[in-house]
Amino acid sequence: MDPGEGLENEEEEETRTHVPSTPGPSTPLKNSYTYHSPTPSGEGPYILGVDEAGRGPVLGPLVYGVAYCPVSYRNQLEELGFADSKTLTPEIRSNLLETLQSDPDNLGWSVRVISPQAISSGMLRRPATNLNRQSQDATVMLIKDVLDKGIRLSEVYVDALGTTSTYQAYLSSQFPGIAFTVESKADFKYKIVGAASVAAKVTRDACLEDWTFEELEYKSPDVTLGSGYPSDPKTQHWLKASLDPTFGFPKVARFSWTTVKLLLEKQGHAVQWIDEGQESLIKAFESAQGLDKDRCGLTRELGIRSIATL
C-alpha cells in the first residue's frame, strides 16, 4: 500500500463531521443517555417542538429530539428550511443540524437516545413497558430538563401517532401553564417540530453508521447494517448473516422485535431451562417425609409442613 494512502484515509476520517449528540465512532452505545446543546440566552417565553426517529427499526436506538426558541424568533425560524426530516436528504439534514447550532443565543436542542438494550428489556419484562410508555417517558424527561435549565415554555408542539387527544391531555396535566398541541404530521406543520425531527434523525443515523460493537466477532469494517428497518434488504442480509444459533445477535438488535424473534425461533438452538436446585429440594422433602412423622430439620427451619406447600 502507498504510505500516502493510509495518511489520506486518516485525514479523511479526522475531517469527517462529528455529530456532538452521539457517542462517536469508537465508543459503544451501552446505555441510554441525554444530550443537551448550550442553553440559549434569548428572552422568553419559548416555543418547543418534539419528534422522534427510529421507532420502527429492528436495529439501533430510538431517539427523541426537542428544539426550542423564543416566541419572538418564530418568523426567523420559518426561513431556516426545517421540515420533516424524512423528506430531506442526509446532506440537507446535516446542514440543518449545523444551522440549529449556528445561533446559540436563540436556538437550543436536546436528544434522548434510548439504547436497543433498554427498548428490549422494557418490552420483554413483566409487566412490560411498551414503546408508547418509553416514548412518553423520554418526552417528559426532555421537557423537564429544558424547564430545569431556566427556559420558560409557553407552547409545546408534539408529533405523535394514535389517540393524540389523550396524549395531549396527559402532557397538559404534567406541565400546567404550557399550551400543548399534539398532532400527527406535526413535523410537517410546525417548523420547530421539523427542527426537532432533524436533531433526532441526524443523531440516530450517526449512531447506527458509527456503531461500535462490543462483541469482538463483529468488529469488522465490512459490516453493513443498512438503515435498520426490517424492510431494508441490507438489514435483512445482516440479520440472517449475523445470527449465532447459540448466542443470538449482538446488542445493536432489538430482541423484542418480531423480526428477531422469528429468526431466533427458526435458526436458533432450542434451550430448556431446568431449575435443578428446586428439583433437588423437592426430592429431599419427599425423602424426609418417610423418615420423620413430624418435621425434618430442613422443613422445620423453612417453616414448611408439607410438600404441597411448594
Binding residues: 51-52, 159
- Residue 95's nearest CA partner among 195, 25, 188 is 195
Only one residue has cell 397538559, namely 172
Residues 48 and 71: their CA atoms lie apart, in Å, by 9
Residues 6+ apart with CB under 8 A from 268: 243, 245, 246, 248
| Angstrom distance (rounded) from CA 281 to CA 310 | 10
Strand partners, 51: 65
End-to-end Cα separation, the chain, in angstroms: 70
Instruction: Count CA atoms closer than 13 A to 194's CA, side-chain side.
Output: 20
d(CA 213, CA 220): 9
Q: Residues marked as binding for a divalent metal cation?
A: 51-52, 159
* Strand-pair partners of 157: 49, 181
DSSP letter string over 229-263? -TT-HHHHHHHHHH-BTTTB--TTB-TTSHHHHHH
